[in-house]
Structure 1
Amino acid sequence: MPRDFQDVSLASLELFCLAAELESFTAAAHQAALTPAAVSRAIGRLEDRLQVRLFVRTTRRVRLTEAGRAYHVQCQQALGQLAEAERQLSGHQVEPAGLVRISAPTTFGHHCLLPALPAFRARYPQVRVDVQLSNRNIDFTADGFDLAVRGREQADSGLIARRLLDAELVVVATPDYLRRHGEPETVDDLQHHDCIQFILPSSGQRVPWRLRVGGVERDVATTGGCTCTDDILGVVTLAQAGAGLAQVYRFTVEQALARGGLVEVMQAYGGASRPFSLIHPSNRHMPLRVRVLADFLAAWLRDRARDGSRPHAPD
């Protein structure tokens, strides 16, 4: 494939990233020890080459266009990969440093990821971590993430998944709800109960309950008067308020179960689980700062499983 080498250098890409981060050609020029005109010319050469406008310019500041934002993400990744390649070739094993952006579901985030970060930062103080807690799917390139934690199996073949844990599911309710409505003992009993529903953001569909029936895990449809969309921790809150039965991850209600605020039911059908995996694009080099966070999180969860103490968030 023929290559079109034009007058665009790595320095121009670095100036573009600097101006994008500072939202100012003048501030970028000052930090790079150049004139604002030199920065403007470098950005202009990029725009001419790409045939697209990267910035919207005003008298006070500059901001990226939609195309500029997408290009900025790609440039940051490319420059980071080049810098790491140089370090590896020169034989310098430097301390991991820089920003890692990770997206995680609210359940995993509050109970597993966020509690691990103080220990991670103590070990790697030069690595900064930006966490997005959301149950919605992300676009790694457009949204600028390095890693994501997601439940359920991943169908995208362009992603590499690393299993972190199999989260046990439990059915719970308050003692008061069970006094008023009785305790379900069979799967058929569930149709006579108010079962709190969670709506999966990616599909808009109700998530079926997962029970072990006759030694085999299967999905069971339930009904109820309360639904919660996007944040499954809302299901936990509804259950604690006495709204009905709920199926949730055990690690989200362990403390409530220990205190007696919630009671586990349907234990004869328990033992089902859903996986949480750490995912990242298969076609992207993983910088050292990203790799150490991935390895640390996997080890942190493994150590707690070995000790018999599941991760949990503080009250």
Structure 2
Amino acid sequence: MKRNFHNVLLGSIELFCLAAEHGNFTSAANAAGVTPAAVSRSILRLEERLGVRLFVRTTRQIRLTDAGQVYFNQCRQALDQLVDAEHEITGGQSAPSGVLRISMPTPYGHYRVLPLLPEFRARYPEVQVETHLSNRNVDFADEGYDLAIRGRSPPDSSLIARKLEDAELVLVATPAYLKRAGVPQTLEDLQQHDCIQFELPSTGRKIAWPFHINDQEVIDVVTPSSYCCSDDAMGIATLARSSAGLVQIYRFIVEQDLARGDLVELLPQHGGTSRPFLLLYPHARHLSLRVRTFVDFLIEKLDPH
């Protein structure tokens, strides 16, 4: 195998990553124990080798170009894996460290994962956690994410999917809405009500509502779309709490509203349906210690089995 890298180039990559993380050459130089001029020369060597600009420079700051962001995401992951591999072999890494980047849907983040992060950081204070809350599917390689949580299995076979839980769905409305519009007694009655829908960003389709019609069979009911939210699923909860209409929503979002009587559960004889939430991460022969640790932590906290 021929050599593609040498010590100077690897050092330049490390200085490039420090400059990207600190946002200026001086702070990167201080962190590395070199001069700002040495950092600048290293970046210039990389840009000449790659034939692209990595930073946009001004008199006060630097910022990554689009190409620089892609290169940084890949280099940061590669350097982290080198450090983890060295520590694993020498037994030098007793605790995970570094930056962990995770993307997750808005409601699952707010109600399931974000409340757990202080406990995770208390256990592993050397790990910094960056969260991205959105229903958009992210590109692990190009955007530099370590993990993602989604409600559907990915079409990408390069990703590992581990189920975190089956989240129960519940049909709810406020007492004020029910006083105004009446209480539905059957699934057919839903067609006469104001229904609040969520539109999947990936398909642009409104999500049908699943209901049990007996112990074994589940049907999807397409309801009238009086209101529709897209991108941020928390919007449907806000509309329901404002007496806009009926909504089928995850129980974990509204369980406190139900306990206080601010929302009422409807058609419980057809309830009990659920949707899965999956933890996704790339196939890798060597996952960093912080990623493996966080995976184990979430499984411990969220998987009932």
Query: Following the alignment from structure 1 to structure 2, what is the Cα–Cα distance between the partners of residues 268 and 23?
Result: 57
Deviations 1:223-248 (A, max 9, x none): 13211121222111111111111000
Deviations 1:251-281 (A, max 9, x none): 1111111111111112121111100011111
Rate the CA distance shift 1:7–1:98 in 2: closer, same or farther, 3 A: closer
Query: Following the alignment from structure 1 to structure 2, what is the Cα–Cα distance between the partners of residues 174 and 24?
Result: 53
Which deviates more from structure 2 when the two are superposed, residues 269-278 or residues 175-184? 175-184
Q: Residues 53-132 of structure 1 correspond to what in structure 2 (within 5 A)?
A: 53-132=53-132
Q: Unmatched 5+ residue regions in structure 2? A: none
Deviation at 1:23, TM superposition (A): 2.6
Code of the residue aligned with 1:236 in structure 2: it is A
CA contact (8 A) 1:8 1:46 kept: no
CA contact (8 A) 2:148 2:281 kept: yes
Query: Following the alignment from structure 1 to structure 2, what is the Cα–Cα distance between the partners of residues 74 and 46?
Result: 14
Code of the residue aligned with 1:88 in structure 2: it is E
CA contact (8 A) 1:209 1:220 kept: yes
Deviation at 1:120, TM superposition (A): 1.3
SS in 2 for 1:9: helix
Rate the CA distance shift 1:36–1:177 in 2: closer, same or farther, 3 A: closer
CA contact (8 A) 2:173 2:265 kept: yes
Deviation at 1:167, TM superposition (A): 0.4
Query: Following the alignment from structure 2 to structure 1, what is the Cα–Cα distance between the partners of residues 280 and 182?
Result: 42
Query: Following the alignment from structure 1 to structure 2, what is the Cα–Cα distance between the partners of residues 116 and 23?
Result: 30
Using the size of structure 1 for normalisation, the TM-score is: 0.90
CA contact (8 A) 2:96 2:290 kept: yes
Query: Following the alignment from structure 2 to structure 1, what is the Cα–Cα distance between the partners of residues 241 and 29?
Result: 56
Query: Following the alignment from structure 1 to structure 2, what is the Cα–Cα distance between the partners of residues 179 and 251?
Result: 25
Rate the CA distance shift 1:44–1:192 in 2: closer, same or farther, 3 A: same
Q: Residues 131-210 of structure 1 correspond to what in structure 2 (within 5 A)?
A: 131-210=131-210
CA contact (8 A) 2:194 2:224 kept: yes
Deviation at 1:177, TM superposition (A): 1.8
Which deviates more from structure 2 when the two are superposed, residues 80-89 or residues 177-186? 177-186
SS in 2 for 1:74: helix
SS in 1 for 2:220: strand
The equivalent of 1:311 in structure 2 is: none
The equivalent of 1:31 in structure 2 is: 31
Deviation at 1:66, TM superposition (A): 0.9
Deviation at 1:163, TM superposition (A): 0.3
SS in 2 for 1:222: coil
Rate the CA distance shift 1:186–1:273 in 2: closer, same or farther, 3 A: same
Which deviates more from structure 2 when the two are superposed, residues 184-193 or residues 32-41? 32-41
Code of the residue aligned with 2:262 in structure 1: it is G
**RMSD over aligned Cα atoms:** 1.9
The equivalent of 1:260 in structure 2 is: 261
SS in 2 for 1:17: helix
Rate the CA distance shift 1:99–1:161 in 2: closer, same or farther, 3 A: same
Deviations 1:127-183 (A, max 9, x none): 121112212221112222111111123222121111000001111111222222222
Q: Unmatched 5+ residue regions in structure 1? A: 307-315
Percent of paired sites with the same residue: 57
Deviation at 1:51, TM superposition (A): 1.7
Query: Following the alignment from structure 1 to structure 2, what is the Cα–Cα distance between the partners of residues 50 and 6?
Result: 15
Deviation at 1:283, TM superposition (A): 4.0
Using the size of structure 2 for normalisation, the TM-score is: 0.93
SS in 2 for 1:161: strand
Deviation at 1:60, TM superposition (A): 2.7
Deviation at 1:107, TM superposition (A): 1.1
CA contact (8 A) 2:163 2:278 kept: yes
